[in-house]
């Protein structure tokens, strides 16, 4: 009797296998075809937007601090010496890329965003207590910058995740994410300049640190990874491997040149407006926000137009 049951089980087993190959549309629509949204994908967009707002928005407001340090606690220092603070921020923004990328692959986004949030907020809190050049350089130029760089990697990683979750609305989703940086670039310079005049520098830094903590807390709970992190050994050969590829070196050179065109004006535009154009301090501070606001409309319109007219 047991042998008579074997032919009965094999047909039933063969039916699922035949149906497994039959509905190719169903298998494509679930894992392969982007679902054009969903709660998880929208949460990733939200969390990455908050992280981009608080990270890129903050680093693009460094021109406001350059102006404050120039006429405030560091007025005895040269402009180029004060500019070492934002220069260190930009250095860590790019130099930590290979290491942070491997750590994200090994441990996933959440643990690193938690650690990066702590460093970013802690550095700003320590900067609020500073009064010497070394204090600002270490707290804002090193500690806070390292945490900012770790959290910012989440926004860049989210670009690949969002691309797999959206099809027709992909460009709109990506451009919506990119508006986080532009919005932060407008909000933070205005907030910093106004609050320094009203409540002073220490409480301005603490208030901004709390705002950043709230935004990145949303990112911590909203962002998830679609794949399980796979631990791999961090070696010098793995980090240096991309530097042996010509396309990567060309891309690196392009980003290097772009950095001078994008960030040098941000650092010096307020100082030049105050010293050379004889603007008021308040108006000179607004130049940073105006400069950053120019990209907000273009980013959103470009994404919407790409979805309608083609990429």
The pLDDT profile of the chain, 311 residues, written as one tens digit per residue, is 444 444 444 444 444 444 444 433 333 344 455 555 677 778 888 888 888 899 888 888 888 888 889 888 998 999 889 989 988 998 998 888 888 888 888 888 888 889 999 999 999 999 999 999 999 999 999 999 999 998 888 777 777 777 777 777 777 777 788 778 778 888 888 888 889 889 999 999 999 999 999 999 998 888 776 666 666 677 777 777 888 888 888 988 888 888 877 788 888 888 888 888 888 877 887 888 887 777 667 666 766 676 677 65
* Residues with Cβ within 8 Å of residue 105, at least 6 apart in sequence: 229, 230, 232
Residues 6+ apart with CB under 8 A from 146: 92, 96, 116, 119, 123
pTM of model > 0.85: no
Closest among 127, 262, 257 to 185, alpha carbons compared = 262
Whole-number pLDDT of residue 310? 64
In a domain, 51, yes or no: yes
Long-range contacts of the stretch 142-146 (C-beta < 8 A, 24+): 142/88, 142/92, 143/119, 144/89, 144/119, 144/120, 145/59, 145/88, 145/89, 145/91, 145/92, 145/93, 146/92, 146/96, 146/116, 146/119
Q: Is the residue at 162 inside a domain?
A: yes
pLDDT at site 286: 82
pLDDT at position 103:
84
CATH number for the domain including 213? 1.20.1250.20
Predicted confidence at residue 36, as pLDDT, reads 59
Tell me if 26 is assigned to some domain: no
Q: How far apart are CA 55 and CA 142, in angstroms?
A: 14
**For residue 226, what pLDDT is reported?**
62
Q: According to the model, what pLDDT value does residue 201 have?
A: 92
Q: What's residue 19's pLDDT?
A: 45
Count of domains in the chain?
1
Give the domain range for residue 77.
37-226+242-309
Judge whether 112 lies within some domain: yes
Residue-level pLDDT at 215: 92
Any domain includes 28: no
The answer to the question of residue 231 being in a domain is: no
Does residue 190 sit within a domain? yes
Per-residue buried b or exposed e for 47-75, using 16+ beta carbons within 10 Å of the residue's own CB: bbbbbbbbbbbbbbbbbbbbbbbbeebbe
pLDDT for residue 208: 93
Q: What is the pLDDT of residue 35?
A: 56
- Domain presence at residue 293: yes
């Amino acid at each position: 009797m047991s042998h008579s049951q074997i032919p009965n089980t094999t047909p039933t087993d063969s039916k699922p296998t035949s149906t497994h190959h039959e509905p190719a549309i169903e298998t494509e629509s679930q894992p392969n075809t982007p679902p054009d949204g969903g709660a998880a994908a929208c949460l990733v967009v939200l969390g990455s937007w908050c992280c981009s707002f608080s990270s890129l928005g903050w680093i693009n407001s460094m021109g406001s601090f350059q102006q404050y340090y120039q006429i405030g606690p560091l007025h005895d220092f040269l402009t180029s010496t004060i500019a070492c603070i934002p220069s260190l921020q930009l250095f860590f923004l790019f130099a930590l890329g290979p290491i942070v990328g491997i750590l994200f692959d090994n441990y996933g986004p959440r643990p690193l965003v938690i650690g990066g949030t702590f460093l970013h907020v802690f550095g700003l809190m320590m900067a609020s207590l500073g009064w010497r050049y070394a204090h600002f350089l270490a707290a804002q130029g090193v500690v806070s910058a390292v945490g900012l760089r770790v959290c910012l990697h989440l926004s860049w990683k989210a670009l690949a995740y969002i691309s797999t979750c959206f099809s027709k609305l992909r460009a709109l989703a990506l451009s919506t994410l990119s508006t986080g940086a532009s919005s932060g670039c407008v909000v933070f310079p205005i907030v910093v300049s106004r609050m320094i005049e009203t409540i002073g520098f220490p409480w301005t830094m603490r208030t901004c640190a709390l705002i950043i903590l709230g935004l990145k807390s949303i990112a911590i709970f909203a962002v998830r990874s679609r794949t399980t992190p796979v631990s791999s050994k961090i070696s010098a050969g793995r980090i240096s491997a991309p530097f042996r590829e010509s396309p990567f070196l060309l891309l690196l050179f392009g980003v290097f040149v772009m950095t001078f065109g994008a960030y040098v004006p941000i650092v010096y535009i307020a100082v030049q407006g105050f010293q050379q154009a004889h603007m008021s301090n308040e108006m000179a501070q607004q130049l940073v926000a105006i400069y950053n606001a120019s990209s907000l409309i273009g980013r959103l319109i470009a994404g919407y137009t790409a979805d309608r007219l083609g990429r």
